[in-house]
Structure 1
Amino acid sequence: MNTWSMQSAVVPVTGAASGIGLAVCKRLRAEGATPLMLDVNAERLATAAGEVFGEACDSSRYTYAVDVRDSAAVDACFADILRAHGRATHAVAAAGIVDSSNVLTTTDEQWHRVIDVNLHGAMYFCRAAARQFAQAKRGSIVTVASIGGLKSKENRASYTASKAALINLTRSLAVDLGGLGIRANAVAPGVIDTPIQDGNRAGLDAVRQTIPLQRIGTADEIANGVLFLLSDLASYVTGETLVLDGGMTAKYR
């Protein structure tokens, strides 16, 4: 048995239009799975779907423009998925945003925007997925957290708080859903070369020197970790956080 195999898997992925979410979709597609791409940006989503399924494919049936902050919209999306593709088998919560304001200057709007996407949106998505999995008594959820959920950093209060909460939400999913045959795990990426870094290219060289592997990670490398946790190779792994940071958090300073 090929325990890497994701053949016939139906996998909704949030944040699928770019970065780690897009890389996960490409990896799933390469393994024979059907990634279902969710993102708030419909235009960018259509372009990304062409990269995953090919320009000749009618990728519209694999894309869902949805704001994960809207629980009703997320539930409706999963109802659409059930009608169009049958029950989802796996799920990846990769949608996330960052804000760089200091605790003293963070506005209520900035705080709620990050928490609403990174934590509330993940909860709504994972809950909807788990409700489908529960009927089959089988499923696997992976959330995309961050090493920012394990350690703090200046000017990242909302982001690090949301990612720390996401890690513990994932543990709660594992505890609550384990009896239904559903696994839930998180990945915690370090500094990864994705579009979220576009405004910080100048600072990446300095960061690179602090990483034991002496390089910035790639979205494809995170996708490999996600695939492992989704797959049956991780069949006895649940409630865990897989750190993928090139050794950053292994250092004392």
Structure 2
Amino acid sequence: MTRSILVTGGNRGIGLAVARAFAEQGDRVAVTHRGSGVPDGLLGLTCDVRDPDQIDKAVTAAEEAHGPLDAVVANAGVTDDRLILRMSDDDFGRVLDTNLGGAFRVARRAAETMVGRRRGRLVFVSSVAGLRGSAGQANYAASKSGLVGLARSLARELGPRGITANVVAPGLVDTDMTEALSARQRDRILQDVPLGRSARPSEVASAVLWLASEQAGYVTGAVLPVDGGLGMGH
């Protein structure tokens, strides 16, 4: 069955890998971005997830083009790393409002359709940083940790309507965001990864696809790590 899928921040990195994976299996995929465009085969929708009106317009456009949403992947996120003594209220708030607030707004809008249809999949892209913490990333880690509480609350609230809500928590993934790391930073992280390597975006996409599938229909409120063992025990 062809489904209607929305991936926020789906124009690059993990989001793009997820969007392409859905498209490759025949789904109709819309992705949000902030003006940088998207590859052919995907419906690109300009949207800042901090703005409820832009989210409403993006979801409406996606549903008009592809039909009512069957699955939403809340992936859009930003980083603004610095030690806490140098982190301003704006530094903290901007990351929280994008990563956590944006996911909340997207899920709220998507639920309007899913509740009436009594089915749907919500998948939130968190991070191993949200489970084990990360020095210099108090804002980012807090936002990613918050996604777990958000997803589990929605799992309880929306479960009776046939809607699942789950979290994927990637570790170090080969994307343009992690390319900014120095070789020393990268090596330090990999020392703690039992598998001894970083992940490919496609490996995270595979986890997202499964959680959004019919096969995962009895899985909700779960946190699925894709981190090579980095966050074991959390």
Normalising TM by the smaller chain, what interval? Answer: over 0.9
Report the 3-state secondary structure (helix = DSSP H, G, I; strand = E; otherwise coil) of the residue aligned with 1:222: helix
Q: Deviation digits for residues 42-61 of structure 1, max 9, x if unmatched?
A: 23x23xx22xx2xxxxx5xx
How big is the shift at 1:251?
7.5
More moved, 205-214 vs 109-118:
205-214
How big is the shift at 1:250?
2.3
Following superposition of structure 1 onto structure 2, how do residues 109-124 of structure 1 map, counting pairs within 5 Å? 109-124=90-105
**Match of residue 76 from structure 1:** 57
Distance in 1, matches of 2:123 and 2:8, equals 11
Following superposition of structure 1 onto structure 2, how do residues 103-252 of structure 1 map, counting pairs within 5 Å? 103-202=84-183, 203-250=185-232
Structure 1: tracts of 5 or more residues without a match: 1-6, 54-58
Distance in 1, matches of 2:89 and 2:190, equals 33
**Pair 206,151 (structure 1): closer, same or farther in 2 beyond 3 Å:** closer
- Counterpart of 1:19, as a letter, is G
More moved, 170-179 vs 192-201:
192-201
- Counterpart of 1:189, as a letter, is P
Q: TM-score, normalised by structure 1?
A: 0.88
- Counterpart of 1:16, as a letter, is G
Distance in 2, matches of 1:210 and 1:152, equals 14
Identity of aligned residues (%): 37
Distance in 2, matches of 1:166 and 1:250, equals 18
Alignment of 1:64 onto 2:45: yes
- How many residues of Structure 1 are paired with residues of Structure 2 in the alignment? 233
Distance in 2, matches of 1:117 and 1:185, equals 19
Report the 3-state secondary structure (helix = DSSP H, G, I; strand = E; otherwise coil) of the residue aligned with 1:213: coil
Distance in 2, matches of 1:115 and 1:74, equals 17
Structure 2: tracts of 5 or more residues without a match: none
**Match of residue 30 from structure 2:** 36
Report the 3-state secondary structure (helix = DSSP H, G, I; strand = E; otherwise coil) of the residue aligned with 1:109: helix
Distance in 2, matches of 1:224 and 1:250, equals 20
